[in-house]
Structure 1
Amino acid sequence: MKIIILDGYTENPGDLSWDGFSALGDLTVYDRTPPEDVAERIGDAQIVLTNKTPVTRETLKRCPEVRYIGVLATGYNIVDVGAARERGIVVSNIPTYGTAAVAQFVFALMLELCHHVGEHSRAVKDGAWERCPDFCFWNYPLIELAGKTLGLVGCGRIGRAVAGIGRAFGMEVIGYDKFPVECGSLTYVSLEEVYRRSDFISLHCPLLADNRGMINDESIGKMKDGV
């Protein structure tokens, strides 16, 4: 059995091992694959693993031996799943690998908006605090998360993890999901209410045809000033 990894460097720049895959078959790992080389590199392989390299309908036509496509990420919009379904090809993703990391990064961004730590560090090193006539130096207003409203669009694993952290910061957490799962860290509301009430809005939904471009003039117009 031939196994091809199209963009291994994205997932494993050298700190992980591919030995588990090697034990399953004849493994070839490419660090990166340009779009024009995808079909040629897959060739007659039965298993294809990819992170961000697209696998299109045309590629699948040229690679009839493919039986399984594994996406080494949560999103699988890089694979033409319709074409794969027609050919009986199984497509899977890894829905849980980045839950904690993504939730943590949400708050890295929110805290940067609230405190501008990097900018204040630069300003202090440049002597701005020394030149300031007041002891309490700041270049931007400092905002506390406690008491603010965090609105989530998409309340799956990552959304619910974000909700838990938000509650720990003392935030009110509201969320919208087409298929809500019970979660004690948030209150489900309509999408309109998320737009209207939130001080921060964080999106944790897959990109689908019905939500592409959902943050636009109309939805922003429904939000409070300063969201």
Structure 2
Amino acid sequence: MKIIVLEGYTTNPGDLNWDGLNELGNLEVYHRTSLTDEKEIIDRIGNAEIVLTNKTPITGSIMDACPYLKYIGVLATGYNVVDLKAAKEKGIVVTNVPDYSTPSVAQMTFALLLEICQHVGHHSQAVHEGKWEKSPDWSFFDFPLIELVGKTIGIIGFGSIGQETAKIANAFGMNVIAYNRSQSEEGKKLAVYVSLDELLKQSDVISLHIPLVEETKSLIDEEAIAKMKNGVVVLNTARGELLDEQAVADALNSGKIYAAGVDVVSTESIESSNPLLKAQNCFITPHIAWATKESRTRLIDIATNNIKQYINGDPVNVVNSD
């Protein structure tokens, strides 16, 4: 059975291996594949029965041109890059990889928050530049330092990542409130559920952990920001388009939002015109919350098991079965 990985580099830049997939078939791994050139995508899939993708779209027309294709595995949790309707009509199984990055994304959320609170990178650089050595005082700091104990964090989206973030927040002595479309008993042990408006009004820190759908696009816009406390911190490790980036940049520059920490932006890789690049006190990382070695190992392991289960006639993590 021929297995094609269309874009393997971000998942495995060389520090991991594809041994498990090699055992399941004739494996061919491409570092990168065009997101827009359908001919290249079709040529690379060729007569393969199984293809793995992350951001490379698999459209109905690509499926038409690849008649041997029987299985599409998405190397991510989100699967909007695949035309699910077309796949179902053609009997092609589509799977995703859920929950592989939960600990890493929650950890990154607090990495951003702690950098905002302590400015570790800035102060380390200041020391190396000699500013502490030249200081007349034994302690040197030139940014406000913030303690998290007693602060209220509002978590929008209280699934596995939101709840993992809540566990860390509780360990820091924060008050945790959450907004989610549904409530669970497990969630009630970690946070107090509130309405979205109440969360926006009460939170000192707001952290986003919801999927991007039509209803959540630009959720944090000018109207939402107006409901927030002055000096709020906004964190986004979910999807870039959850933020109206211009509205957030304006709020950062006015001081309404004290700081923002974002690991995702609306267009990736980031464009020079993105207003967040010129906003004050905005910390931007290049979509790395998911990318710890442990997380990527889980990703490959789960994707491999998905294919193994499919070959055995008992597919799991199927997203187009309904």
After TM superposition, the score normalised by the length of structure 1 is 0.93
Distance 1:213 1:84 in 2: 29
Give per-residue Cα distances to partners, 1:92-151, cap 9 Å, x unaligned. Answer: 211121111111111000000001000011112212223333333211110011111111
Question: Which residue does the alignment assign to 2:303?
Answer: none
Aligned Cα RMSD in Å? 1.5
- Letter of the 2:222 counterpart: D
Question: Which residue does the alignment assign to 1:13?
Answer: 13
Distance 2:179 2:60 in 1: 33
Distance 1:207 1:140 in 2: 34
Question: Which residue does the alignment assign to 2:195?
Answer: 190
Structure 1 runs of 4+ off > 6 angstroms?
Answer: none
Matches within 5 A, 1:65-144: 65-144=68-147
Give the match's secondary structure for 1:195. helix
- Letter of the 1:125 counterpart: H
Question: Which residue does the alignment assign to 1:210?
Answer: 215
- Letter of the 1:40 counterpart: D
After TM superposition, the score normalised by the length of structure 2 is 0.67
Distance 1:178 1:64 in 2: 40
Structure 1 gap ranges (5+)? none
Distance 1:126 1:83 in 2: 58
Question: Which residue does the alignment assign to 1:226?
Answer: 231
Cα contact 1:155–1:181 (8 A) shared by 2: no
Distance 1:20 1:72 in 2: 15
Question: Which residue does the alignment assign to 1:178?
Answer: 181
The alpha-carbon distance between structure 1 residues 222 and 83, as it changes in their structure 2 partners (threshold 3 A), is farther
Cα contact 1:74–1:93 (8 A) shared by 2: yes
Distance 1:150 1:38 in 2: 43
The alpha-carbon distance between structure 1 residues 86 and 197, as it changes in their structure 2 partners (threshold 3 A), is farther
Distance 1:178 1:133 in 2: 54
Give the match's secondary structure for 1:135. coil
- Letter of the 2:31 counterpart: D
Distance 1:82 1:98 in 2: 27
